[in-house]
Amino acid sequence: MSLHFELNEVTKKLPKHLYQFVVKQPYEEYTAQNQAVWRYVMRMNVNYLSKVAHKSYINGLEKTGISVDVIPHMDGMNRILKEIGWAAVSVDGFIPPNAFMEFQAYNVLVIASDMRTINHIEYTPAPDIIHEAAGHAPIIANPEYAEYLRRFGEIGSKAISSSKDYEMYEAIRLLSILKEDPNSSEKEIEKAQEKVEFLQNNMGELSEMAQIRNLHWWTVEYGLIGTLENPKIYGAGLLSSIGESAWCMQDEVKKVDYSIDAATKTFDITKPQPQLFVTPDFAYLSLVLNEFANTMALRTGGLKSIQKLIDSESLGTVELTTGIQISGIFSKVIRYKNNKVAYLQTVGATALSNRDKELIGHGITSHANGFGSPVGKLKGINLPIEDMSPRDLKAYKIYEGEFMTLEFESGVIVKGKAITGTRDLRGKILIISLDDCTVTYNDEVLFKPEWGIYDMAIGKEVISAYSGPADVDSFLGLGKVSEIKTRKITYSNEEEKLYALYAEVREMREKGSSTNKKITEIFNQLKSQFQLDWLLSLELYELALQNNYTIKSEILTRLENLKCNKSYTKLIENGLVLCEN
């Protein structure tokens, strides 16, 4: 597999299945206008956010290699990020939530490297490099927040999704792509919007993944920190939106103390947020995260945890008290009194592991057609199998070469000839393998002798269940890359001419080679051919003002006239303040 990113001390630890989400940063596709949009937003941010953002933001820009003037190269960011133990990779828009979280768990920021268009300069519904690089990266320079982010990824990647979650992800991804593409039709956008709204209204009970995504949204993306009366911004969605970073400070936006209740507060990614949560400090974020983790199947186990995996219809893992981990797609669970687990079953490829390492001889080739096992204690015997010493096992006729009948408290009966047992390093028995085996529950046959060797997992209880495999190397092709791709914008000849003018102005500014004559020539072209473009006029005015060129008054008059268009009024006013400063 050819890599689109540089392996360093951080990225070389990534599981290989995450490589499929990484794309090459399309730096050569950024237009000169894209560069101007980046510069405008970043200058606005530094000017405004220095007053309202958490103190880590401005320092973090420098620490993470984010330039105000130029869209960052991923390689350059990585060289600096590795100094604080992080890295960044380029991805194509939204990626599945579990994958996003898993990258984060390995201290890797995923950066959607497309660049917002000038029409979405204040806010974009699609993730872009301003949001990711200038929003997320600076705050991770704060060690306490960085650890929260890593821990969030570690826990979030284990959250169990519902079967509807992936459909919602695909719908939101499509809508964000369409809204950012200037060539999209209103009909396309309207249809995609309707689908998102329909799914939002018909999701049913929120899954673990839906809830932890809500926590992520109200902290990492749209979080405020401090007091309700005087909050500061730390969420990347706010830090990267010159529109919402100002809007969120208004009284119209309700401020609420952050708590675990945020897990049930849904959001609309395509609109400004009417309510925001305020955490007193970064340490409190970790407390709430831990409180939520205590409600997850990851920590609660039991019957409900397996039912969550069955409902997800996706690859997951169940761990028993012995430490044996069963990874596969769970299809069935038999319960008995007091909601205890009697038997669990997977379909298709299944792997058995211990301490997140696949057990030799128990990978997906050995268990290609599913796996089933009883859970619990034997009837009439108070000592669980897992706690039996070799002497105990022999006393109960559980040893190699012996034909045995094991009747569990639940009513599951296992009959067969013991071949061998698999133990962990401490000597605790994890698996008993039987030949000529029949497994029944009441009148139901769960395993027949003609199916081959029966490997019975040992454990008196289910202590954990979570999304994904125990050993990431057990399954090939983990994760799924969306077939809906970010659209590459096609530009008209007129637009190409305009971007060429942007490039000229940028070069003059960088080389200090502007003259009154050059500025005037470009300005005249702008007036005659591109009457609605306001950003290049601002850049021309900035150079004219700095050098006291005579053309400055004429450019200012044009900008004042363009302010009549309400779409530009605030943008131009803010830009003029930057120029004056």
| 2, part of any domain | no
Inter-residue contact 226 to 257 (CB < 8 Å) = no
Say what the pLDDT of residue 423 is: 86
Check pLDDT > 90 for residue 545. yes
The tens digit of pLDDT for each residue in 338-383 reads 899 999 999 999 999 999 999 999 999 999 999 999 999 999 999 9
CA 34, CA 304: separation in Å to the nearest integer? Answer: 50
Check pLDDT > 90 for residue 107. yes
Same domain, 190 and 166: yes
Say what the pLDDT of residue 200 is: 79
| Residue with tokens 């400070």, as numbered in its chain | 249
Q: How far is CA 453 from CA 328, 371, 436, 439, 472, in A?
A: 19, 11, 7, 12, 26
Same domain, 374 and 240: no
| 64, part of any domain | yes
Same domain, 536 and 414: no
Same domain, 208 and 62: yes
Same domain, 516 and 441: no
Say what the pLDDT of residue 497 is: 96
| 538, part of any domain | yes
pLDDT band with cut points at 50, 70 and 90 for residue 134:
confident
Say what the pLDDT of residue 270 is: 65
Same domain, 80 and 167: yes
Say what the pLDDT of residue 175 is: 87
Inter-residue contact 244 to 238 (CB < 8 Å) = yes
Same domain, 335 and 367: yes
CA 429, CA 57: separation in Å to the nearest integer? Answer: 52
Calculate the average pLDDT of the chain: 91
Same domain, 236 and 163: yes
Say what the pLDDT of residue 197 is: 84
Q: What is the torsional sign of CA 49, 544, 519, 568?
A: positive
Contacts (Cβ under 8 Å, ≥6 apart) of 275: 253, 254, 255, 256, 265
Say what the pLDDT of residue 513 is: 95
The tens digit of pLDDT for each residue in 49-101 reads 888 999 999 888 878 878 889 998 888 888 888 888 999 899 888 888 889 99
Q: How many domains does the chain have?
A: 3
- Whole-model pTM: value is 0.87
pLDDT band with cut points at 50, 70 and 90 for residue 242:
confident
Inter-residue contact 539 to 550 (CB < 8 Å) = no
Domain, as residue range, for 47: 11-291
What is the pLDDT averaged over residues 128-139?
84
Say what the pLDDT of residue 2 is: 58
What is the pLDDT averaged over residues 196-224?
90
The tens digit of pLDDT for each residue in 432-475 reads 999 999 999 999 999 999 999 999 999 999 999 999 999 999 99
Domain boundary among the residues 234, 264, 291 is at 291
> What are the percentages of helix, strand and coil residues in the chain, rounded to 5?
45, 20, 35
Check pLDDT > 90 for residue 164. no
Is 457 or 237 the better-scoring residue by pLDDT? 457
Same domain, 249 and 332: no
Say what the pLDDT of residue 346 is: 98
Say what the pLDDT of residue 4 is: 66
Is 549 or 401 the better-scoring residue by pLDDT? 549
Check pLDDT > 70 for residue 574. yes
Describe the crossing of helices 186-201 and 165-180 by its angle, rounded to 10 degrees. Answer: 150
Same domain, 142 and 212: yes
What is the pLDDT averaged over residues 244-251?
87
**CA proximity to 465, closest of 344, 284, 336:** 344
What is the pLDDT averaged over residues 202-206?
82
Task: Compute and round to an integer the Cα radius of gyration of the chain.
Answer: 29
Say what the pLDDT of residue 407 is: 96
Domain boundary among the residues 248, 273, 291 is at 291
Q: What is the DSSP string of 54-87?
A: -THHHHHHHHTT--SSSPPPHHHHHHHHGGGT-E
Q: Token pair for residue 308?
A: 């969550």
Say what the pLDDT of residue 128 is: 84
Lowest-confidence region among 265-269, 325-329, 519-523: 265-269
Lowest-confidence region among 286-300, 435-449, 484-498: 484-498
Check pLDDT > 90 for residue 32. yes
| 47, part of any domain | yes
Q: Token pair for residue 90?
A: 């380029």
Same domain, 253 and 333: no
Name the most confidently modeled range: 103-107, 135-139, 235-239: 103-107
